[in-house]
A and B are shown apart, each in its own frame.
Chain A
Amino acid sequence: MTTSTPKRSPARAPSRPWRLSLSDPRVAGLFWQILVVGIAVAIVVWLWSNAVHNLSVRRISTGFAFLGREAGMPIADSWIDYTPKNTYLRAFIVGIVNTLRVAVIGIVLATVIGTLVGIARLSSNWLLARLAAVYVEVLRDLPLLLQLLFWYVLMQGLPAARQAFKPIEGIYLSNRGLILPSVPLHEANWWTILALVAGLVVLHLVRRRQIAQQMLDGRARSAWPYALGLVVVLPALVSWLMGASWNIMLPELRGFNFVGGLTLAPEYFALLIALVTYTSAFIAEIVRSGIQAVPRGQSEAAKALGLKRGFVLQHIVLPQALRVIIPPMTSQYLNLTKNSSLAVAVGYQDIVSIANTTLNQTGQAIESIALIMMVFLTISLGISLFMNWYNARIALVER
C-alpha cells in the first residue's frame, strides 16, 4: 500500500555501491527526506522561539501549573459536584464529562433515528420514502451551526415554566428546557442495575456456549430459561433483598421553576437535537446504501427458502450490510463528537467552552488549546479503536 513500485521478484537485487549523485535513488531519497524534515523542524523551531519570546514579553508563564488554581468560573450544567471555588482541573473534568454526555447520548440517538430513516427511504410506501428523502436532503444541506442556532432560538421562544407545554403527565417543555420524570438512584438501585448488567453478560456467554454446542451436535437449545433467570429474577431478587425503591419522581412546578425530575437544560437540549438530527441524516444515507449494497439475490434466495421477513433481515441482509455500513459510520461518530464542540456557540459548557473561558481568564492560550486537542484526539482514538475492533469482528470470514 505504501510502495508505489513494489518489488516483484523475491531474488534480492545486487547491492550497488553508493554514488554521491541525485540520480542515485537512495541518495535522492535521503536528500529529500533530510530537506523536508529539516524545513519542518526549522519552521517549528522558529515558531517556538517566537512564542517563547512573546510569552516572556507578556509575562505569561508556560506550563500546566494554572490547572491547580481556583477557577472562579460558574458552570450551570454539571453532572459532578462543582463550584467556582474548585480548580481549573476540576472545571476541565466537568467539561470533558459534558462533552461525553452529549456525544454518547447523541451517537446512540443518531444511530437509532438514522437507521429508521434509512430504512424508511427504502420503504415501498411512496409517501414515507419521499418524506425520509426530504428529511435527509434538508438536514444535510444546511450548516450544523445554523441548525443549532435555530433550535436554540426555538427553545428560548418556548413559554415560561408556568405555561409549559405538557404533552404527557410529568413531561414539561418550557424555556427552562425539557423536564422529565426521574427515578432517584440510591445504593440499592445501583446494585440492582449492576446485577442486571452482570446477568446480561452471563446470558451472552451462555448463549455463545449454546451455539457452540449446537455447532457440534446440531440440536437447538432454548435460552429462555436462562434469560428469565438472569435478566428478570436475579435483578428482582437483588432489588428485593437490598430493599430498593423505584418510585418515579414527577417534576413539580414551584414558583418560577420546577423541582424534582430530570432537567435537560435548553442549551444541552438544543445541542443534542441539532447533533442528532444532522448526523442522523448522514447515517440514514449510509444505512440506505449499505442495505442496497447487499445483492438482491440474497434476500430473494432467503425468501425462496421460505424464511420469514424478520429472519431474512436479521440473519441474511443486515450482517452483510453492516460490513459496508461500519467504516463510514465510524467517521460519522467521530464527526458528531467533534461537532459537539459547537456547544460554545449556545453556551453549553463542554470542554471547548471551558477551555475558551480559561484562555480568556488566564491567557494560557497554548495550554488550553493543547488540552482541547488532547481530549479530542483521545476520544477519536477511543472511538476508532472500538469501531475497528467491531469491524474486524463482523468482517467477512473467508473460508
Chain B
Amino acid sequence: MSSVAHLPQDPLPIGPRPAPRALGGHLTVWLRANLFASIPSSIMTLLLLFVLGKACIGLWQWGIANAVWIVSGNDTSACRALRGVGACWAVVPEKYRFILFGTYPFDEQWRPALAVLIFIALFAVSSRRSFWRKELFLLWAAALAVIGCLMWGGFLGLSFVTQDRWGGLPVTLILATFGLAFGFPLGILVALGRRSKLPAIRSLCVLYVELIRGVPLISLLFMASVMFPLFMPDGVNIDKLLRAQIAFILYAGAYLAEVVRGGLQAVPRGQYEAADALGLSYWEKHALIVLPQAIRHVIPPLVNTFIAFFKDTSLVLIIGIFDLLTTAKTAIVDPAWQSFSVEVYVFVGVIYFVFCFAMSRYSRSLEAQRGTN
C-alpha cells in the first residue's frame, strides 16, 4: 500500500528504514500477513475454516466415505439403503454412454466419440496464436464437414443415422460450434451494417440486434420449434435440430455483432482514411485493413461469448432436443435410478465445467498477454 519508492527524491535523501524483523519462519510470516493480519481478519479466518471444515467433512462422507461406486445390473437396493447419506456413483458407469451419446446406435458410438475428439482438437488448434492464419478457416470448414459425415454416415460402410437419434455431448458441441461458425460471419456483416452510412441498412441491423438481444433465448427457441413450421410452405419439413441450430445462429449473430462492433470502434480512424487514400473499395478496406485489427482487439470477449453460447445450448432441453443436459435428465427417468439425479447433475456439471473453465482460463491468459504487450 505505502509505496514510498515512487515519490520524488527529497533534497536530503534519507536511507531506507530497515525492514521489520520477521517473526518466525517463512510459514509464520505468510500466515500473519495473509490470514491473521488483524483481529477481524483472524476471526474471519477461523469462522471460514470452521465452515469449510464442516462442508468438507460433509462432502467427504456423502461423496466418498458412504458412497456406492458400483452395483450389478439395475439392482439399486444398495444405493437406496443409504437413504441419502451417501452418493450413488454407480449411476454414472451405468448411464454414461446414454448421457454422453444419447440414443445413437450403441455399436456406432465410436463415431460421436471421434466427433467430440475432433471438436476438441479443433478448439485446441484454434487457440494457438501461430495458427491464426487464413488456412484456419479451411481447417474449420474441413473439420465441420468431417464431423457431419461422421455423425450422419451413409457411406464407406457406415450406417446412416438420422439427426433425431443424435444426442448428448456431440449435440451440445454441434449447436455451440456451428452457431459460432455461422453466427460469426453474420455478426461481422451486421456489425458493419450497423456502422454503415446507409440509413436503411443501419436501421435494419439495429432492429435485428436489439430485437434478438431484448428477448430471452427461450422465446427464440419456441419460435424455432413452434412458429417456424407455420412460416414454411406446405411440404417443407425442416428437422427440429436444424431449426434450433438456425435459432442459435441468429442469436449468436446478434451478440457477436455487438462484440465485433466494439472492435471496429477501437480501430483508429487513420486506418480507415489510409485505406480510402489507397483507393481500396469498401470490402477490400474492411477485409484487408480494418477487420483483422478489429477482431484481434476483441478475441477475449469473443471467447467469453463463446463460453456463454456453450452454456446456453443447454436451453434446448425446454424444446426437447437431446443435448447433454437433456440426456442427463432423461437418464434418471428410469425408475430404478430416479432418486439419484444429484449424482447425474454433478457428472454433467463436471463436463460443462471442464469445457468452460478451460475456455475462461484461455481468455484470461489472452488478456494477460495483451496487458504485458
Contact = CB atoms under 8 A, between A and B. Distances in A.
Partners in one complex: yes
A55 interface: yes
Contacts of B349: 142, 146, 150
A207 interface: no
B197 interface: yes
Contacts of A380: 214-215
Given A125-B44, A137-B357, A380-B214, A359 B226 contact: yes
A144 B318 CA distance: 13
Contacts of B199: 33
B307 interface: yes
A165 to B, nearest CB: 14
Interface string A159-184: 00000000000000000000000000
A51 B230 contact: yes
B48 A131 contact: yes
B216 A376 contact: yes
B245 interface: no
Contacts of B348: 146
A67 interface: no
Given A150-B345, A369-B223, A352 B218 contact: yes
Contacts of B318: 342, 344-345
Interface residues of A, number: 60
Given A33-B200, A141-B353, A125 B45 contact: yes
B307 A50 contact: no
B227 A143 contact: no
A271 to B, nearest CB: 13
A280 to B, nearest CB: 16
Interface stretch (A2-10, A85-93, A212-220, A237-245): A2-10
15 contacts: A1-B195, A2-B197, A4-B196, A5-B276, A33-B199, A34-B200, A54-B229, A127-B34, A142-B311, A142-B353, A300-B2, A344-B218, A345-B317, A369-B223, A377-B214
Nearest to A378: B214
Interface string B203-237: 01000000100111111001100110111111000
Interface residues of B, number: 64
A365 B226 contact: yes
Contacts of B138: none
Contacts of B44: 125, 127-128
A32 B48 contact: no
Contacts of A323: none
A146 B217 CA distance: 16
A144 B197 CA distance: 39
Interface of B: 1-2, 34-35, 37, 41, 44-45, 48-49, 52, 84, 195-202, 204, 211, 214-219, 222-223, 226-227, 229-234, 265, 269, 272-273, 276, 307, 311-315, 317-318, 325, 329, 339, 341-342, 345, 348-349, 352-353, 356-357, 360
Contacts of A140: 356, 360
Contact of B265 (A1, A125, A138, A300): A1
B341 A142 contact: no
Contact of A29 (B197, B229, B307, B329): B197
Nearest to B258: A331
B215 A373 contact: yes
Nearest to B356: A141
Contact of B345 (A37, A53, A146): A146
Contacts of B230: 50-51, 54-55, 365-366
A80 B35 CA distance: 51
Contacts of A342: 218, 315, 318
A381 interface: yes
B161 to A, nearest CB: 26
Contact of B317 (A47, A138, A145): A145
A143 B312 contact: yes
Interface string A207-241: 00000000000000000000000000000000000
Given A36-B204, A37-B204, A124-B34, A143 B219 contact: no
Contact of A126 (B34, B218, B273): B34
Nearest to B227: A365
Contacts of B204: 36-37, 40
B314 A143 contact: yes
A153 interface: yes
Nearest to A124: B37
Interface string A28-63: 010011101100100000011011011101000000
Contact of A341 (B200, B216, B234, B342): B216
Contacts of B345: 146, 149-150, 153
A341 B227 contact: no
Interface in A332-361: 338-339, 341-342, 344-345, 352, 356, 359
